[in-house]
Chains A and B, each alone.
Chain A
Amino acid sequence: MDPIAKSLKKRSLSAKIETRGRLLTQICTLLIVLLVLAIFGFIATKGVAVFIQDHGSLWDFFTKTTWSPDQTDLHQRPLIGALPMIVGSFAVTFLAVLLATPFALAAAIFMSEISPQRGNKILQPVIELLVGIPSVVYGFVGLAVIVPAVQKVAGGSGFGILAGTLVLFVMILPTITSMAVDALKAVPRHYREASLALGATRWQTIYKVVLRAAAPGLMTAIIFGMSRAFGEALAVQMVIGNAILMPSNLASPATTLTSVLTMNMGNTVMGTTANNALWTLALLLLLMSLIFNIVIKYLGKRSALR
């Protein structure tokens, strides 16, 4: 065989490097996927154990209000009424998002539409700083400032949904704001020009065109904030009072799914009903964050289509 044909038939060095590189990235990706699947599988099997092994009732879990998994009722079923903490989790999440969204949107509009220069110079660093503060610090401030304030205004101990909401409000504000800014900045400049050229004022342009065009992105920002609030454990746990009771008002001690987990996970023995019940809470948290992610993906796809 002549040397040219030979060299053409042989795989070149760069082709070999290419194959090796591809293999490496594929293996790494596979490992990550396997890891996630393993975690998911582990939590799922642990999470359903309380229903399968210990004959807990799924209905009781979502509707009853008594949580003491190491005791059983008349039908020999463990008392796993998780409604108080489910209500607590959703209450602090929705209230915090409800409170944070108008502020975040206003700040985002200021930063991207009204005064980008000052926004980038002052607000941007402030927001980045707020994101970087560890949650225990937020909780500590909440404990020292918000709880006494709530106590003064609403009476009682000060611990409760309101205190949790206010701490979460500050924590998710930067998240929603910075994502909303990105969503607004992604609105093409020519939409604004077209609107202004038709004789619209700046404010009409913002609320009739820019906000509308950015709507999917803004929704994503809000859901992202919701997901962050729902999953936050430490800061909320420090100010909510940790009483597994149905909250009677915004200032009465309550609890959330994450708080129950962090408070009790060190005090149960693997394999017992009490421990299995905690895994069920973990599974619920995982499923909720999965739902948030699916919604975010769906919204992202919808905005990409347009």
Chain B
Amino acid sequence: MTTAIITAQDVHLYYGKKEALKGITMQIKRGEITAMIGPSGCGKSTFLRSLNRMNDLISNVKITGEIDLEGQNIYGSEMDTVQLRKRVGMVFQQPNPFPFSIYENVVYGLRIAGINQRERLDEAVETSLRQAAIWDDVKDKLDQSALALSGGQQQRICIARVLAVQPEVILLDEPTSALDPISATKIENMLLELRQHYTIVIVTHSMHQASRISDQTAFFYQGELIEMDQTKQIFLNPREQKTEDYISGRFG
């Protein structure tokens, strides 16, 4: 049995008066891929962003309940968001490499942590780019701007950038929805490889993607967690009617 790395207990989140999350309780298991599915506006991205406190950047957000990372409340007063985000990395929907060279993009997280030794940076660049399955594409042009790459390549650079910091958990917010199917497949295969070393949480619009790569699937609807179980169970034998309706395409 795998143990939980993240535990959420009755999490409510409000944008001003609007309640976007209505009491989410779930466990995310170490070393697994957890997929979050649900129609637009169901709160799955909001919940993902509360796992590394990215919602703090939006004014007017209030959050109650508790989210623990390895037993430590991330909304506790002694939690440092900078340290938290080093442990819980994030990849966004739109590929968002910095307007720097590929090399500088990958080592950004290390440089801000004060690591500047050339050998360590070089090593991190090669390791992370290999893990992100893009080393062969870019190894001869590391000093070129990352913005010159295709969307799919940019997204893999963004993943390599997160990997270089060696987080424990990687959050992905619809990482392939802006990409073509071939790039999306490459990223899916890469995530399956990464599963051995990292805990991965992915928000996705594609039910095929969720069923292909995830171990656990959580179905969100209107700010509530309707059902969470092994992916096979959710797709073949859902307990809730709403889940079944959604995955069979009756709404969404």
Contact = CB atoms under 8 A, between A and B. Distances in A.
A201 interface: yes
Nearest to A191: B98
A200 B94 CA distance: 20
Contact of B108 (A188, A190, A201, A208): A208
Contact of B113 (A195, A199, A208): A199
B57 interface: yes
A75 interface: no
Size category of the binding interface on chain A: 10 to 19
B85 interface: yes
Contacts of A194: 92, 96-98, 158, 161
Contacts of B109: 198-200
A184 to B, nearest CB: 14
Contacts, number: 67
B82 A201 contact: yes
A196 B111 CA distance: 13
Interface residues of B, number: 28
Interface in A170-225: 188, 190-191, 193-201, 204, 208-209, 212-213
B179 to A, nearest CB: 16
A22 interface: no
B145 A196 contact: no
Nearest to A306: B99
Given A196-B85, A200-B82, A190 B161 contact: no
Interface in B37-65: 52, 54, 57
A221 B86 CA distance: 35
A190 B96 contact: yes
Contact of A209 (B98, B147, B158): B98
Contacts of B85: 196-199
Report the 6 A-B pairs with minimum CB-CB distance, sorted nearest first.
A199-B86, A190-B96, A197-B90, A198-B109, A199-B85, A200-B112
